[in-house]
Structure 1
Amino acid sequence: MTDDNSPRRLLRKPIVSVLLPDSSDWDETGLLPVEYVSKPLRVEVPPWIDSPPSPGLRSFLRVYWDNLPRPVYEKEWTSTDWGSGNSPPPADLFFDLEALHVVHGVHDLWYEVTLFGGNIDPSEHLTVTIDEIPPNLGSDPRLVFDTTEVTNQYLDNNDDKLMGDVPPYAGGAPGDVITWYWSQVAFPVNPADKVDSRTLFRGESGQPLPLEVPGRVIRDNNNGERFAYYQISDRAGNVSTSREVRLNVNIRPPTPRRFPTVKEANSTPSGTGTLNPFNGGSGVTVVVEASEVDPHEDVIVDFVGLGGEDGVGSITGVRPITAGGLEFAIPAAVVAANIPVDSSDLRKVETYYWPGTSPQHSAIYTLRINPFAVGALGQVHCRQAQVGSPATLPKSRVPPEGADLEIARWIYQARGQRMNVWAIAEGVRTDFQRGVPHGFDGTFSMKIAKDYVDRLALDSMFTLYAGVSFDGGESYIEFRSLALKVVA
């Protein structure tokens, strides 16, 4: 409380508790929030100390608003009204300033006290700023975007965000707040559509920096016609709303895009397919539906089979056959590595695509390749054998360098494929080649040593076998064997 020893004291300024805090960051002093405008305004006068010298004396409080000729509040006390204390009763120090005074402008609120001894002490003045004028956004305030079509490709090329420029506006002041919205309807403003808000400090008030609509917000609101707009509110709470900007959104939801298919396979609606191995001899073609890809979106395909992404049955990062196309060639060698040896071999291929720079690939298409029927790749032949039932191999026809074993060109044949060649005679296996890469582009041939044939008993049977590996030696698919009877 103010000391009463001074002959003329400067009392503390009146209190309006709802005023916004002052700061060097803002221009206004004693700013009143707009919700209190044109309503009775609660004012508190700080208590002071005054000791009445004798009964019968009087003290007066007079509160002034601007330069009005009469006080807006006054109170008179006798010494007995204060009781035993040396300050006025607290209830007498509160009053409501009439609503007719609480209007736009910068106002001055102060009071003076006539003490019991007759001295008059004035108070400090309180500035009350009342602002009823909202920011002036101009004649056609709209966010300015560099596109009216928001696609996945656009977001990929723009750091997964849409930026909008804000036109300059009049009446801006530090402390203005800009709030922007992304909505399925133009108006009314729905708080649930709020994207974000930002306080504008010196240097940005009147000309805000661009506003960001994150890709996450756009995706969460799905595809279709969308509206973007903003509001600017000053520190008092006066709000101006821009006009809406209409944009068309055509992006994908966060769920994976539909799986691709393999052209040569029999495919199901659930994303699986079965391939006849004879339909993949020239490779296969992965196809992506055009409806699943945005215009100008680059697409690559992964075809992942035996051995995982780096395995012999896989190829990744496959680009389209034709630039900008949606068909992707998978080499025959990759297909062949995924052909099972028999029905108990459960190998499969998973293929999918990556659209643009999306971190998520499409749904997966699962391909299974049927095994070859027994002997379907071709049959082992011996050039010196004679046709019959059974076929015969005369020892006399075997040249010194050995008998000629031959296998006609087979589907998926490629140099470097590993071969097994062996014979079984009277239950004993003899290997002639075991995992040896061949170098043939056409008929495969090799020699069966003459001394092997010579050791076989006349009229005995032996069988020639061969198998080829399409997966680097992991497994071998056998050709049809050749049973021979040894004759003189």
Structure 2
Amino acid sequence: MHDLLPMPVVANLSSDNVLDLAALGDLALATYIPVGGIEDDDEVYIYPNWRGCGPSGAVFDDAGSMVPLDRDQVKPEGMPVSITNLLLKSLDQGWVFYSYSLEINGTRTEESARRFFYVGKRPQKVALLPVAQVRGAHDLHIDADTISDNFLTVVVLPYENMTAGDVVTFVWQGYTATGTARPVIKSVIELVKEQVGQALEFTIQKGQVTIIKNGKAEISYSITYADDTKPVTQSIVQTFNIKASLTPFLPAIEIPGVIGYLDPSQYTQGLKLSVNNYGAIQAGDYIVLYAMAPRAGRSTSIVMPVDASTVDRGTFHALLEYQWLLDNTAQDVVFTYQFSRLGAAGASLPLPVNINKERKVTEFPHVPRATPGNEGEGELAANIAVNGIDIEIPAEVELFASDSVHVRFNQEGETGYYLGLNNPDNQRSFTVPMEAVAPNIGKKVQVYYQITPAGTTIPLVSPAYTLTVLDLGSGQVIAPICTKPASSGRLSKRAVMAVEVAEFTQNKFMFFQAGLWVKVYASVSGVKTYFRGTALQGVQVSSEEAVEEKLIISINKDYVNGIAINNKMVVGAEISFDGGEEYKQFDTVSLTVVE
């Protein structure tokens, strides 16, 4: 058997041959086609062969694209070919066969060896239920003298596939200092819909703890499922010493810029709590962050399983909802966190914080050239925004000279995100540049202004103004023009053979700039062949093309020669203004092929 061309190279594959979409985020997938052994004067075209299958059997194939070899782009791994993130997300929990063939000086090679890989990490089963936690207990010690209420709270963490009707039974087995077993205490909760996905709380009377001081307590729980055909699941037993711990508590949570007081209006997107890892952290731990409020029913908790990424990152994060801050305005609250696993547990020192309102930002941003709709909404034609969008802070909003002010499009990490300072001559005005407008063409963008008072790091954020940037319309991106041989309406095969190419020019259009992604294709009877980019990915406009204000696309003579006389060849451009996530089709040119 003769040797096959080597497999394409796929970046980011794990050791178990999986493409982790979470790690990839919103980026395109980098792949490389090996092109070693090709001579400098060879004319080479690459034909990627992507065969994808979704988890339900849906087909996600691309076997008709063509990528011209650009020797200036070749890396040690080969010629880069990007796969769009949107296609990959459609394949989550599916798999791919990926190969290619080459056309070298007009001769097509056989298909290369195929690379197989899975898309999306497969869920792993957890062998055991997490141990129960005792709120306030540290280093597996419960200090009976520090129980502030008349009861001790035990927390059972959410488990997979929690269902209304499940019965969770908590068991407390106490032993005195002499080892004498006390009567078992059991407590039962039958889950209702509102409890699904939430931590469950059980209480033990303080007297039951005090009576076993210097002894120990064993705690566990079991689950009887609403579907009574399934077996009862039993947790592992965690043992606590009933005496004060001699180990220092973990450091308290820190909130940047917050010392005893917190203004909820500065956290409309939620309060992010970041904590440096405790020294004993291990994958498989469970962390619970508690936000304790004085009013009944207002406390909350956030459960965070620890995996290898948490350990490697060195910090863990939780987001407390803005609504919780509002619900506890004018209250003194306490933030703490605890971790647990079999044979280990720890608790942090408390962080007391007073939540109160002060300065408010309630006015929407003003977009002068937008056509207003409902309150806080408007729309703007893309051709009006080609030189940028003016944004203003209304006069009713209080500003101080010491304030730092910014305008923001969308949330950080989202497509079309932009954050910019005010104009130098006016603290209330901003101009969002064309480069930041382009990714939002044809989309709704959330526009904010934010004010950061001197001495603080957390900005006051305005309500979101929803601005619809309308799509470019017909005629605003002109169709490509056949410039070699110069043709209009009819394309002569003889003329193409004479100049050995059909060359098309895509002239500058609105928002034309370096970095824009563009595909150009020719189609006959609806079948597209790409001559710039592929069906999956366009090619970015280079800085040289941006200066020349045009794109040159060459359609090889063999393609034209293969079109039957009097058939129409349609040439068009597909343009992505948002980094390759979405391509928009614009006006095309249709040429009748003649002798």
Per the shorter chain, which TM-score range? Answer: 0.3 to 0.5
Q: In proportion to residue count, which structure has more strand?
A: 2
TM-score by length of 2: 0.36
TM-score by length of 1: 0.44
